[in-house]
Amino acid sequence: MIINKSISLIGFMGCGKSTVSQKLAKALQINCIDTDGLIEITEGQSIREIFSTRGESYFREREKNVLLSLLEEPKPSVLALGGGTPCFHNNMKHILDLSVAIYLEVSPQTLVKRLEKERDKRPLLKNQNNLLEYIENTLSIRNPIYKKAHYTINGEQDLNIIVEEIKEIIQGKNKYDMQLAAFLLNILEYNYEINDLIIKRLNQQKEQLTERTILLMNHVLNAQHIWNSRLRGIESTFETWQIHDLNNWETINEENYKTSIQIVEGFPMDEEVIYTNSKNQKFTNKIKDIIYHIVNHSTYHRAQITSIAKENGVEPLSSDYIFYKR
């Protein structure tokens, strides 16, 4: 199985993140990293000691940094996160953006049973007289955050069943990612080929081209270039209504296509990008929606080009997707 993203296991102390992560990592043949363990090694102190000598906010800062560096690692791993990790700073957003988040949900009553004997190891539980009340109160704050995970699993089940359920999720997700990418590549190819045919046809009709046709075809090319640049997080070198020399249209179309393909092949399609439009307004969209928009937007303007051709008595090209697929 090809794993292209880390898997973050989240949930309350005692929900089984460490045990599940080790067995899951073995099954998936990838590394298993425990964030608390990593903090203890780098700090040379146990979590309990860090809490008592440096305080909780110091620990939360270290926890955030360790989390970010792990999420940014290109090599995927199973990450067993500390119980509080998703609930501090902006951590949950990063966990959701950069990994597959799985919440191991366990009832407060079961957590009490599992944690009763471990109070001394856990700084947040040490002075709690009523463990059930503490867990219920803390969970009422944390659960809305934990529940944002991509998937929630019943953490009270047998360990083997939990691991199997997660494996099924990852397999299904891989399949979904591959099918989505294949579909987007397919519509990008349609977009490229139809543009190419239209450009070749317009080249043959150079003398009869209306100003509006020229403007619309340039706009189709510019828009794809601009969206590609936004997706790559770079400044676009084209303006929305810029006019290019007719001799360059084919090359621009080809370059646009190649860049869009690289984006689909190189980025997770469900991920969001933040960009600013021509009026300097900020927006956020998923990559897959932007790719679909590129094609849909081109179809809209190609239809206008077709209308102009019909009005002028010029034989238009059939650019429907279904014609292309026949």
Bridge partners of residue 80, in order along the sequence: 9, 34
Alpha-carbon distance 148 to 86, whole Å?
Answer: 10
Question: Which residue type is seen at 105?
Answer: E
* Residue 124 binds ligand S3P (CB under 6 A): yes
Alpha-carbon distance 224 to 244, whole Å?
Answer: 14
Q: Please pick, from the candidates 16, 84, 86, 108, the single residue that binds ligand S3P as defined by CB under 6 A.
A: 84
Instruction: Sketch the per residue contact string, 3 through 22, with ligand S3P: x for CB under 6 A, - otherwise.
Output: ----------x---x-----
Q: Please pick, from the candidates 64, 122, 293, 301, the single residue that binds ligand S3P as defined by CB under 6 A.
A: 122
Closer Cβ to ligand S3P, 59 or 190, answer by number: 59
Helices and strands, counts by H and E, the chain? 12, 7
Alpha-carbon distance 194 to 299, whole Å?
Answer: 9
Alpha-carbon distance 108 to 267, whole Å?
Answer: 39
* Residue 83 binds ligand S3P (CB under 6 A): yes
* Residue 297 binds ligand S3P (CB under 6 A): no
Shortest Å, Cβ 122 to ligand S3P:
5
Shortest Å, Cβ 13 to ligand S3P:
4
* Residue 86 binds ligand S3P (CB under 6 A): no
Residues across the chain? 326
Shortest Å, Cβ 90 to ligand S3P:
16
Alpha-carbon distance 34 to 82, whole Å?
Answer: 8
Alpha-carbon distance 227 to 278, whole Å?
Answer: 11
User: In sequence order, which residues have a C-beta less than 8 Å from that of residue 141 and are 6 or more positions away?
Assistant: 87
Which among 1-9, 78-86, 91-99, 148-156 is the span making contact with ligand S3P, rule CB under 6 A?
A: 78-86
Which among 24-32, 77-85, 92-100, 149-157 is the span making contact with ligand S3P, rule CB under 6 A?
A: 77-85
* Residue 36 binds ligand S3P (CB under 6 A): yes
* Residue 82 binds ligand S3P (CB under 6 A): yes
Residue 54 burial (CB count, 10 A) = 14
Closer Cβ to ligand S3P, 64 or 167, answer by number: 64
Which among 122-130, 149-157, 167-175, 278-286 is the span making contact with ligand S3P, rule CB under 6 A?
A: 122-130
Which among 120-128, 246-254, 255-263, 303-311 is the span making contact with ligand S3P, rule CB under 6 A?
A: 120-128
* Residue 47 binds ligand S3P (CB under 6 A): yes
Buried b (16+ CB within 10 A) or exposed e, 100-115: bbbbbbbebeebbeeb
* Residue 123 binds ligand S3P (CB under 6 A): yes
Tell me whether residue 123 is exposed, middle or buried, using C-beta atoms within 10 angstroms of its C-beta: 0 to 12, 13 to 18, 19 or more: middle
100: enclosing H helix or E strand? strand 99-105
Note the residues at the interface with ligand S3P (CB under 6 A): 13, 17, 36, 47, 82-84, 122-124
